[in-house]
Chain A
């Protein structure tokens, strides 16, 4: 990844312009042609540095509810619990974290609050965690914009 790739990634994170030839427009800003811009974008995608290039939506404004859930699961049951949790398409991010009590943390997006409750009840029943905490955001001070390289 060279300096130009980094500039391009920063630009792509901010969003493509809504114009007929967006890669030409971005290339112009970076001082390169449309063909080179596209070739670099394809490379960044092929190498897996760009996970997805597409629409980034605001789940709340689409009428969806989201939350963060913390679980306490014994170490020897993490695999089993992760498989059960990850099976839900509504679970978008899930991490094992280093905390002596709450070790599994996942985010959940669903079309309504009832569905969130339903999933949490099912998970509680299926994996019987020692503790489960539903932590929906009360206030938003920053929603991911981009990560400067």
Chain B
């Protein structure tokens, strides 16, 4: 990662221009040729720094008005088996294991998106049936207080 990579990330973490040749427009801002920028982006992608140049949606406006954080109490020896099953549901966008506390025994987290709360509940019920994990809670979002993309550099 050099200064040029950081300058590229600083530019690409914003919106790309919506014209026929967005990479050429961005390259010009960095005094690069379009080929050089595309090469750099390919390399950042190969190194796992850049996932993709793509769209981030406003879920509510795209029709997913409900989002529930499912928290699951999974026996530690079952996590390897259960995690991939939960991750395989298209309505689940994230699935992570997180630490527990004396007053908080949930260790697996799934973000579930749906058209309404009922749809999220149905997904959670299916997950429960498929995994055999019955101790869980759905924490629905009551209000979005902040949602932005990270500014890295």
Binding site for B on A (CB under 8 A): 1, 9, 12-16, 18-24, 34, 38, 41-42, 44-45, 47-59, 61-64, 68, 70, 82, 85-86, 89-99, 101-102, 104-106, 109, 131, 133, 135-149
- Kindly state the separation between the CA atoms of A50 and B144 in the bound complex, as whole angstroms: 17
On chain B, the residues within 8 Å of A90 by CB distance are 150
1/0 contact string of B90-107 vs chain A (CB within 8 Å): 111111111101011000
Binding site for A on B (CB under 8 A): 1, 9, 12-16, 18-24, 34, 38, 41-42, 45, 47-59, 61-64, 67, 69, 79, 83-84, 86-87, 90-99, 101, 103-104, 109, 111, 113, 137, 139-152
- Kindly state the separation between the CA atoms of A13 and B109 in the bound complex, as whole angstroms: 23
Given contact pairs A9-B57, A56-B56, A18 touches B42 in the complex (Cβ within 8 A): yes
B79 CB → nearest A CB, Å: 7
Given contact pairs A92-B147, A147-B93, A97 touches B56 in the complex (Cβ within 8 A): no
Interface centre among A52, A64, A68, A82, by most chain B C-beta atoms within 10 angstroms, is A52
- Kindly state the separation between the CA atoms of A82 and B49 in the bound complex, as whole angstroms: 30
On chain B, the residues within 8 Å of A133 by CB distance are 101, 104
User: Judging by beta carbons under 8 Å apart, are B55 and A18 in contact?
Assistant: no
A22 CB → nearest B CB, Å: 7
User: Judging by beta carbons under 8 Å apart, are A92 and B150 in contact?
Assistant: yes
On chain A, the residues within 8 Å of B16 by CB distance are 53-55
Given contact pairs A16-B54, A21-B21, A61 touches B94 in the complex (Cβ within 8 A): no
Closest to B52 in A: A15
- Kindly state the separation between the CA atoms of A103 and B103 in the bound complex, as whole angstroms: 14
Closest to B48 in A: A61
| 17 pairs, CB–CB < 8 Å, chain A vs chain B | A15-B54, A24-B20, A49-B61, A51-B147, A52-B149, A53-B15, A54-B56, A55-B13, A56-B51, A56-B54, A57-B49, A57-B51, A63-B1, A91-B146, A95-B67, A147-B57, A147-B113
On chain B, the residues within 8 Å of A56 by CB distance are 50-54, 56
User: Judging by beta carbons under 8 Å apart, are B57 and A20 in contact?
Assistant: no
Given contact pairs A62-B9, A98-B140, A142-B94, A149 touches B83 in the complex (Cβ within 8 A): no
